[in-house]
Amino acid sequence: MSRPVLLAPQWIAPVAPEPGVLTGHAVVIDGTRIAALAPLAQAQQEFPDAETVPLPGHLLTPGFINLHSHAAMALLRGAADDLPLQQWLHERIWPLEAELVDADFVHDGALLACRELLLGGVTCINDMYFYPQACARAALTLGMRSVQGIVVIDSPTRYASSPADYLRKGLELRDQLRGESRVSFALAPHAPYTVSDEPLRQVAVLARELGLPIHMHVHETAAEIADSLDKHGARPLQRLDALGLVGPELIAVHAVHLSEADLALLAERGASVAHCPHSNLKLASGIAPTARMHELGINVGIGTDGSASNNRLDLLAEARSAALLAKGASGRADAWPAWRTLQAMTLDAARAVGLDNCSGSIQVGKQADLVAIDLSAIELSPVFDPVSQLIYACGREHVAHVWVDGSHVVRKRQLSDGQAASAVAEVVGRTSVWHNRAGEILSGRA
């Protein structure tokens, strides 16, 4: 039986039950769970046999949760830059996916993405892509937690032939991985404009029956809303509500173009939003009204989106932009303060995917998903408020240590597991093959 581990950082930001920073405290990990959060002397007395890990100059926070990702698209980084969404999809992404995407592609891309995210403090991804079994395997290789999307889309692909086939394969995988504690699932209809009414009704029923989140792109562009009004006589959220999808289960990804009625609906139904500021900016989709969302009590988490629409999977950078955009767009400097932004990337995201009972805050009994950020660098000195320093000054390069389920998966900015590092190296050796194939596809369409 392994010894408990006592982490002794300079600062701890538990996030819950209240915002704030603790000094002179320790966190004790026993197995996979947090066994204590107490003053250092008390923790040492209660766990005299614990292995002590001193972390001077470090801030300990809950693990970050990426509320929206397409991890496998790391292999498409830079393949479709400087294009608006519909052109990006129709002229680049969908043709590339039609030719390239299989289980091997998803595994290789997801492994690269998960390494990038893990080294940046992300302990859990909420992913949406084809071949979710391959993404789950990649995340598990690195010791990460993942929420795998059961993708639903009207169009056939090499992965599945129809909405019913997508659902069948996803639910079968959920059954197969039921005993894997680091993998959970969400229903993931792609978007209102790619999924017809009957599959959406099925998703709504399954979400309630199985207690699964619904992870879906919603109100990303103004064109999406205009098209929905023309085709269905209703805004996308109105249509989704009529079909039974707008409720506590819904994670509305992007949610950029929202009227006051849309915002009121999300708030009334208890839905969540996955805010992806860099992807929204890069695709010129717009700026989501996140300050107003907070005013109305809408639960908002932060996501990176995929590498093909962001290029950098850096949740700390997203968090800083989320805070700054909320202030700039609302004209209020107190919008999205630092502590609230940290909560968005931890507990609020955990709540959206139904993991807040085991993750998202540093509390006794929760899984030990933790991040230690080194604030001793010259460019981070002096430290008046460690949480403000985290949000407004830190980068992912300052993440020093990461624990998932109590396992020390990142140690001094490096993967701890040699086998995981070797698996990543093998994939890196194959990236030129994927790159060349993508280049051939794109040149054939020129």
pLDDT at 444 over 80: no
Given pLDDT bands bounded at 50, 70 and 90, which one contains residue 151? very high
Confidence of residue 85 (pLDDT cuts 50, 70, 90): confident
Helix, strand, coil distribution of the chain in percent, nearest 5: 45, 20, 35
Q: What are the phi and psi torsion angles at 65 (to 5°)?
A: -120, 120
> Which pLDDT value is given to residue 164?
98
Of the chain, the percentage scoring pLDDT greater than 70 comes to: 99
Tens digits of per-residue pLDDT, 295-343?
999 999 999 999 999 999 999 999 999 999 999 999 999 999 999 999 9
Contact 13, 21 (CB under 8 A): yes
What pLDDT band is residue 446 in, cutting at 50, 70 and 90? very low
64-352 is a CATH 3.40.50.620 domain: no
Please determine, for residue 158, whether its predicted confidence score (pLDDT) is greater than 90. yes
Residue 110 and residue 209: Cα distance in Å, rounded? 30
Statement: residue 370 has pLDDT above 90: yes
Residue 443 pLDDT: 82
What is the Cα 353 distance to its own chain's centre?
A: 10
* Residue reference for tokens 């249509």: 239
- In contact, 259 and 238? CB cutoff 8 Å: no
Residue 387 has pLDDT above 70, yes or no: yes
Compute CA distances 209 → 185, 206, 213, whole Å: 14, 5, 11
- pLDDT at residue 2, as a whole number: 83
In the chain, % of residues over pLDDT 90: 92
The pLDDT of residue 140 is above 80: yes
**pLDDT tens, 218-261?**
999 999 999 999 999 999 999 999 999 999 999 999 999 999 99
The pLDDT score that the predictor gives to residue 416 is 96
pLDDT band at 408 (very low <50, low <70, confident <90, very high): very high
Integer Cα distance of 348 and 301 in angstroms: 6
User: Which sequence spans correspond to the domains of the chain?
Assistant: 5-62+363-415, 64-352
User: What is the per-residue pLDDT for 445?
Assistant: 56
- Choices 2.30.40.10, 1.10.3470.10, 3.40.50.970, 2.102.10.10: CATH for 5-62+363-415: 2.30.40.10
pLDDT in tens, 7-43: 999 999 999 998 999 999 999 999 999 999 999 999 9
Average pLDDT over residues 272-292: 97
